[in-house]
Every structure is written in structure tokens, then in C-alpha cells.
């Protein structure tokens, strides 16, 4: 029994078929509870008013936008080292999801920034780094689509993902150096401070974060299954053409 | 390796090699920007460092797909891959040749164009220094991007999408050096960071580019 057994497409399809409905149900539950609780059953902030509630979408999606890239990096490394096709397809499947999370984080941030900072957009380090991250996602997806041979595409995107990770980190620190920002630091994991976020917001926020993690896993599982089916279909068609 | 370097430089300089295109583009940027934003010397002086760096970066981007594409089409890249020198060395030499025919000339003409953009006096030295330190990184990063898309037909647009985000740190530190130099403040921190990025890129990216080339030549 080892983890690598699940890299077998057949085994992966079997297991994921069983897991996926539960995962989807749990996602719906967490997001439903977290968002409804967050939007309708928390008080307005005394300075930010109701705009504070955008935190329930903004923070989890921003976290997942970065985590999705990390997951793609790990999956790419597994593909390069162990040549498991499921891993490469999972990385491919995760990219559009990650891009969507990035877009959600940027848009919700702009919606909050307009009333609070008085501007939709500022060239703040965090905002800029996220825009650059979105560009990396776009390039990654475009490279997958441009290369015809699937194994070549998997190899090239894996290399691009590794190099891109280094440069995304570099950009993160470069923009920090370049401009001092409006955006606050992350408050969720601040150690040593008692209640950096009021508990009344904190609990639904954690539920939402779990919901977004589950949503990401469920979407990636579903999209990976689609990719595997598409791969099988093209193999069948190729065999048919030869026969 | 020397032969390969000479061959690449010669091919680039001779007719049809696209040498000078980058320079012409750089000149165009320096002419078009004042036409767009207006001729006030103070405004121009303020944006000159950024415009010069962005112009150099885009001019560099123009000729990137030539690093490998032509050799890939006529099969000489296959020969180079089986040649006794390592493919990493081939990549490094080709990036160096690209720098000799784009980065170096861009660096040399940049002060002339800076006059057009009214760059303040102390900035000229730092403009040349920063371009000298930064353009090698542009060539090596570009060679990596070109290696990724060498098998793609009409990969030019894809190449810019892949390479431009990778250029961000170089651009930020490069323009910062010139900006600080022009206003007479301390430049060593961004200059060292810029040189660090160049050194890291030159040392590591040929390996990534060679890996991508091997995949594409499979």
C-alpha cells in the first residue's frame, strides 16, 4: 500500500468517483454555512460598515490562488521525477481554477478598495504581485494549449512552472521594494496578538476557508477526471484511425 | 564554442538577421512617448528612467524567437544537441550572442535616447551601468522562453506572454537604479539586487532552457 498506487489512472478514477460526491457535498455545506453566516449573521464593522463582509470571499480565494500554484508546482515535480500522467493532468486541471481564484481575489479587492481606500486599484505590492501571478497562470495555460503533443506539453509546462515559481517569488519581493503599499499584512495567523480578528468574524471566515479548500480539491478532482477521460478518448480515436 | 558564437553573431548581423530592428524599435519608443505624453521637460525627466528600461526590454523581446527558431527549422539545432559540447553550453553561448547583438547595442545607444527624454545629468552613468548589469538577464531569460516555445508554430505572442512576467524583477530593479541615480540618491541596493538576478539567471537558466530544448527535440 503506497500513495503512488493512486497515480494509476484506473485506480484514481475508481477512488475519485467515490470521493468526489462527498467532497462536493462537504464543499456546498461549508461554503453555504460559511457564506450565509458571514453575509447575514455577522454585525457590520463600526468603521467599514457592511463592506467588511467581503473578507469571506477575498481572503479564502487569495489564499487558494497561491496554494493552487504551489499544488501545481508539486504535481509538476512529481511528473518530472516519477512520470505519473495523472500528476501532470492534475497540474493542468488546477491552473484555470487557480486563475479564477486570482481573479476573484482581485475583483473583490477592487470592490472593497473603492469605498475604503477611495480607489479601485493601487500599485500596491500585494495587488501588483497578484496581477503578475495572474499573468503566470495565463502563460501556463497558454503553453499547455499551444503544444500539441501531450507529453511534451506536460514536460514544458512543468519546467515553466518551476522557473515561474522562482520568478513569482522574486517579483513578490521586488514589488515590495518598489512601492510601499496600502494593503495590510495578513492578520489571520498573527501570533502573539490576542484576537487579531474579532471572533464574530473569525469563525465564519475559517469555515469559508475550509469551504474554499474543499472547493479547490473538488474542482481539481473533477477536472482531472475530465482530462483523463479526454486522454482516453483521444487514444481510442487514434486507435480507430490506425485500424 | 567560439565558432558557434561567431556564427551566431555573423548570422544576426548579416542581411535578414534582424539586427538593428531592436535598435530602431528602441528609437521609436523614445520618439513616440514624448509625442504621447507631451513635451514638458519636467514630466519627461520624471518618466525617462522607466521609459528607457521598458523600451530596452521590449526591443530585446523582439528578437528572442530568433535565438532557436531558425536553427530548429533547418535542423542545425539537432546537430548542436548531438555535438560534443553540452547543450547547456550551447544555450549559454546563444544567449551571449543574442546579448552581443541586442543588449550591448541597446546599452550603448541608451544615453543618446536619454537626451531625447531629458534624463537628468547624474542619471546617464547609472543608465549605462544598470543596462549593462541587467540586459544579460533579459537575454538569458529570453533564451529560456524561446527554448520553451521553439516547437510551437507562430509562438511569438506566446513567447511574450511567458517571458514578460519573468522580466518583472529585472525591470523593477533596473528602472529603480536609474531613477535613484538621476535624483542623486544611493543606488547600491537596487544595483546589487539587479546584478544578483542577472548572476542567478545566467548561472541557472541555461540548465532549464537545455531541459526544455531536449524535450522539444525529442
pLDDT digits (tens, 9 = 90+) for B84-138: 889 999 999 999 999 998 899 999 999 999 988 888 888 899 999 999 999 999 9
- Residue A103 and residue B82: Cα distance in Å, rounded? 45
Q: In terms of CA atoms, which chain B residue is nearest residue A172?
A: B169
Residues 115-174 of B with CB under 8 A from A: 144, 148-149, 151-152, 155, 158, 161-162, 164-166, 168-169, 172-173
Average pLDDT over residues A57-78: 93
The residue among B130, B157, B165 whose CA lies nearest residue B52 is B130
User: Which comes out higher in pLDDT, residue B182 or A189?
Assistant: B182
Owning domain of residue A153: 18-179+197-242
Domain annotation covers residue A11: no
User: Taking a C-beta distance cutoff of 8 angstroms, is the pair B111, B172 a contact?
Assistant: no
Output the pLDDT for position A169: 87
Region of A179 (left: φ > 0; alpha: ψ -120 to 50; beta: rest) is beta
Name the grid cell of A235: 487514444
To the nearest 5 percent, what fractions of chain B are helix, strand and coil?
85, 0, 15
- At A125-169, the pLDDT tens digits run 888 888 999 999 999 999 999 988 888 999 999 999 999 999 888
Domain annotation covers residue A35: yes
Output the pLDDT for position B151: 85
Beta-carbon separation of B176 and A171 below 8 A: no
| pLDDT at residue A50 tops 80 | no
Query: What SS3 state is found at A45?
Result: strand
Average pLDDT over residues A17-41: 91
Beta-carbon separation of A139 and B161 below 8 A: yes
Output the pLDDT for position B129: 93
| pLDDT at residue B18 tops 60 | yes
- Residue B207 and residue B87: Cα distance in Å, rounded? 8
- Residue A216 and residue A81: Cα distance in Å, rounded? 25
Output the pLDDT for position A188: 61
Binning pLDDT at 50, 70 and 90, where does residue B16 land? Answer: low
Sign, Cα dihedral of B110, B111, B112, B113: positive
Q: What is the ipTM of this complex?
A: 0.86
- When divided into structural domains, chain A yields a total of 1
Output the pLDDT for position A189: 58
| pLDDT at residue A46 tops 80 | no
Binning pLDDT at 50, 70 and 90, where does residue B22 land? Answer: confident
Phi, psi of A45 (to 5 degrees): -75, 150
The residue among A222, A228, A226, A213 whose CA lies nearest residue A84 is A228
Instruction: For residue A122, give the DSSP letter.
Output: -
> Which residues contact residue B83 at a Cβ distance below 8 angstroms, ignoring those fewer than 6 apart?
B90
User: Which comes out higher in pLDDT, residue A186 or B50?
Assistant: B50
Give B216's contacts in chain A (Cβ within 8 Å).
Answer: 152, 156
Kindly tell me the burial class for residue A153, based on how many C-beta atoms sit within 10 Å of its own C-beta (0-12, 13-18, 19 or more). Answer: buried
Kindly tell me the burial class for residue B16, based on how many C-beta atoms sit within 10 Å of its own C-beta (0-12, 13-18, 19 or more). Answer: exposed
Beta-carbon separation of A167 and B151 below 8 A: no
The residue among B109, B119, B1 whose CA lies nearest residue B56 is B109
Q: In terms of CA atoms, which chain B residue is nearest residue A148?
A: B152
Phi, psi of B54 (to 5 degrees): -60, -40
- Residue A90 and residue A79: Cα distance in Å, rounded? 10
User: Which comes out higher in pLDDT, residue A73 or A127?
Assistant: A73
Beta-carbon separation of A136 and B152 below 8 A: no
| pLDDT at residue A183 tops 80 | no
Binning pLDDT at 50, 70 and 90, where does residue A239 land? Answer: very high
Distances from the Cα of B50 to the Cα of A106, A236, B107, B127, angstroms: 25, 54, 14, 10
Output the pLDDT for position A193: 57
How high is the mean pLDDT of chain A? 87
Output the pLDDT for position A187: 64
To test the contact with chain A by mutation, choose from B148, B163, B196 the residue with the greatest count of A C-beta atoms within 10 A, namely B148
A151: Cα within 13 Å, side-chain hemisphere: 7
Residues 118-157 of A with CB under 8 A from B: 132, 135-136, 138-139, 142-143, 146-147, 152, 155-156
Beta-carbon separation of A159 and B162 below 8 A: no
Output the pLDDT for position B80: 87
Output the pLDDT for position B198: 94
User: Which comes out higher in pLDDT, residue A212 or A119?
Assistant: A212
Q: In terms of CA atoms, which chain A residue is nearest residue B177?
A: A178
Binning pLDDT at 50, 70 and 90, where does residue A122 land? Answer: confident
Amino acid at each position: 500500500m503506497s500513495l503512488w498506487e493512486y497515480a494509476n489512472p484506473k485506480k484514481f478514477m475508481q477512488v475519485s468517483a467515490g470521493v468526489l460526491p462527498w467532497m462536493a457535498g462537504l464543499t456546498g455545506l461549508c461554503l453555504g454555512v460559511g457564506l450565509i453566516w458571514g453575509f447575514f449573521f455577522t454585525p457590520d464593522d463600526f468603521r467599514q460598515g457592511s463592506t467588511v463582509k467581503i473578507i469571506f470571499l477575498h481572503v479564502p480565494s487569495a489564499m487558494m490562488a497561491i496554494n493552487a500554484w504551489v499544488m501545481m508546482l508539486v504535481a509538476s515535480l512529481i511528473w518530472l521525477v516519477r512520470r505519473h500522467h495523472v500528476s501532470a493532468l492534475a497540474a493542468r486541471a488546477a491552473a484555470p481554477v487557480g486563475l479564477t481564484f486570482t481573479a476573484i481575489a482581485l475583483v473583490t479587492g477592487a470592490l472593497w478598495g473603492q469605498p475604503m481606500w477611495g480607489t479601485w486599484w493601487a500599485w500596491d505590492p500585494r495587488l501588483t504581485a497578484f496581477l503578475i501571478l495572474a499573468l503566470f497562470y495565463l502563460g501556463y495555460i497558454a503553453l499547455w494549449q499551444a503544444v500539441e503533443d501531450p507529453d511534451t506539453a506536460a514536460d514544458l509546462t512543468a519546467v515553466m512552472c518551476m522557473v515561474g515559481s522562482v520568478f513569482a517569488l522574486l517579483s513578490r519581493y521586488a514589488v515590495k521594494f518598489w512601492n510601499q503599499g496600502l494593503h495590510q499584512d495578513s492578520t489571520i495567523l498573527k501570533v502573539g496578538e490576542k484576537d487579531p480578528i474579532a471572533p464574530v468574524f473569525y469563525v465564519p471566515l475559517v469555515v469559508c476557508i475550509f469551504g474554499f479548500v474543499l472547493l479547490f480539491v473538488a474542482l481539481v478532482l473533477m477536472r482531472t477526471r475530465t482530462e483523463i477521460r479526454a486522454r482516453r478518448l483521444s487514444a481510442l480515436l487514434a486507435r480507430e484511425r490506425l485500424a | 564554442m567560439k565558432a558557434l558564437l561567431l556564427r551566431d553573431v555573423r548570422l544576426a548581423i548579416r542581411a535578414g538577421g534582424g539586427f538593428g530592428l531592436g535598435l530602431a524599435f528602441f528609437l521609436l519608443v523614445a520618439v513616440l512617448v514624448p509625442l504621447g505624453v507631451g513635451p514638458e521637460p519636467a514630466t519627461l525627466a520624471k518618466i525617462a528612467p522607466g521609459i528607457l528600461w521598458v523600451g530596452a526590454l521590449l526591443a530585446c523581446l523582439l528578437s528572442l524567437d530568433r535565438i532557436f527558431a531558425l536553427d530548429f527549422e533547418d535542423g542545425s539545432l539537432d546537430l548542436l544537441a548531438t555535438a560534443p559540447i553540452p547543450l547547456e553550453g550551447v544555450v549559454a553561448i546563444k544567449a551571449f550572442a543574442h546579448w552581443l547583438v541586442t543588449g550591448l547595442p541597446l546599452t550603448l545607444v541608451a544615453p543618446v535616447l536619454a537626451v531625447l527624454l531629458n534624463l537628468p545629468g547624474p542619471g546617464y552613468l547609472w543608465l549605462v551601468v544598470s543596462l549593462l548589469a541587467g540586459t544579460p538577464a533579459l537575454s538569458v531569460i529570453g533564451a529560456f522562453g524561446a527554448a520553451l516555445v521553439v516547437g510551437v508554430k507562430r509562438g511569438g505572442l506566446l513567447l511574450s506572454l511567458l517571458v514578460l512576467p519573468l522580466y518583472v524583477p529585472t525591470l523593477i530593479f533596473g528602472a529603480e537604479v536609474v531613477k535613484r541615480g538621476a535624483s542623486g540618491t544611493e543606488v547600491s541596493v537596487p544595483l546589487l539586487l539587479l546584478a544578483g538576478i542577472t548572476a542567478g539567471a545566467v548561472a541557472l537558466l541555461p540548465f532549464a532552457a537545455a531541459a526544455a530544448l531536449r524535450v522539444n527535440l525529442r
